Structure 1
C-alpha cells in the first residue's frame, strides 16, 4: 500500500541557505513565502514529492532519506563531494567515500548533514539476497562477497 513519502518538513535557521543547499541536491524550488519564512521544494516534479522548509529561531534536528535507483548509488558520494558536502559515519562505520551496506535489509546508504544538522540519507534497495549475519559494511566489501 504505502510506497514512499509524499512530503517532509524541516525547521531551518536560514531559509535562503537551506534553499541553496537543497537546490544543490537537484530539488526544484516551487514556492517561497518570505513573509512567513517558508519554502517548498519538489523532488522530480512529475513525482510531486516535496520538502517544506520552515524558518525558525530554534530548530529540532530530524532524519529522512531520499531514495535512488541501485544503479545510481555509486554516484552519490562524488555527487555530494562536488557540492562540498561531506559524508558522515553511521552505525560506527566511517563513510570511506562509498555507500554503506546494511546486509540484513539489502540497502546501500550514504549519510550526510544539511546546514542545520538534520541527518540526511540517500538509499537504494539492492537486488542481492539479504545476509542476516553481517554487520554494516562498505559497498566494495559487499560486492566482493557477491561476485
Structure 2
C-alpha cells in the first residue's frame, strides 16, 4: 500500500531566507500559500518539503522532531562536505563523529553513510546513502574505515 514518503514539514522563522537555503540544496519551489507556507519539490511529482513560517520555531530538539534525511547518491555523499562548504553550509558533528568525512552506521547486510547539517532555524538535516554490506561489517565508523573493511 505505502509506496514512499510524499511530504515532510518543518517550521521556519523567515520563509524567504529558508526558501533560499533549500533552493541552494537543489530543491525547487512549487507554490507558496499566503506568504507563510512554501512547498518545494525534493523529487518532482514524488516528494516535497513544506516550510511553515511561524514564531514557534524553537521547539526543543529531538530526533523525532525537526529532522529530514535527504537520500543522495554514494558519489555525491562522498563529496558532500566540500559541496556543503562551497555553498556556505556548515556540516556538523553527529553521533560523536566530527564532520571531517561522512560516517557509517552499518548493519548486517546494509549500511548507511551520512553527514549532518542544520538549516538557518536549527532544523536537523542529513544527506544519506544506503550501501550494500558484502562483508557484514557492523558498527559505527568513518566512511574511509568502513570502505577498508569492505574491500575484497
- TM-score bin (small chain): 0.7 to 0.9
Aligned-pair CA distance for 1:101? 0.5
Q: What TM-score do the two structures reach when normalised by structure 2?
A: 0.85
Aligned-pair CA distance for 1:36? 4.7
Query: What number of residue pairs does the alignment pair up?
Result: 142
Q: CA RMSD in A?
A: 1.7
User: Which of the two has greater strand per residue?
Assistant: 2
Task: Find 1:118's aligned residue among 99, 117, 123.
Answer: 123
Q: After the TM superposition, which segments of 4 or more aligned residues of structure 1 sit over 6 Å from their partners?
A: none
Unmatched tracts of structure 1, length 5 or more: none
Aligned-pair CA distance for 1:70? 2.4
Using the alignment, how far apart are the partners of 1:24 and 1:107 within structure 2? Answer: 24
Aligned-pair CA distance for 1:93? 1.4
Which residue does the alignment assign to 1:29?
A: 29
Counterparts in 2 of 1:70 and 1:2: CA distance versus 1, 3 Å: farther
Structure 2 residue 97 is the aligned partner of structure 1 residue 99: no
Which residue does the alignment assign to 2:67?
A: 63
Aligned-pair CA distance for 1:100? 0.8
Counterparts in 2 of 1:131 and 1:2: CA distance versus 1, 3 Å: farther
Aligned-pair CA distance for 1:6? 0.8
Aligned-pair CA distance for 1:66? 0.6
Which residue does the alignment assign to 2:7?
A: 7
Aligned-pair CA distance for 1:2? 4.2
Unmatched tracts of structure 2, length 5 or more: none
Using the alignment, how far apart are the partners of 1:72 and 1:99 within structure 2? Answer: 11
Structure 2 residue 23 is the aligned partner of structure 1 residue 19: no
Secondary structure of 2:81's partner? helix
Structure 2 residue 55 is the aligned partner of structure 1 residue 72: no
Aligned-pair CA distance for 1:44? 2.9
Deviations 1:85-127 (A, max 9, x none): 111111111121x211112250001100000001111100012
Secondary structure of 2:128's partner? strand
Secondary structure of 2:133's partner? coil
Q: What TM-score do the two structures reach when normalised by structure 1?
A: 0.88
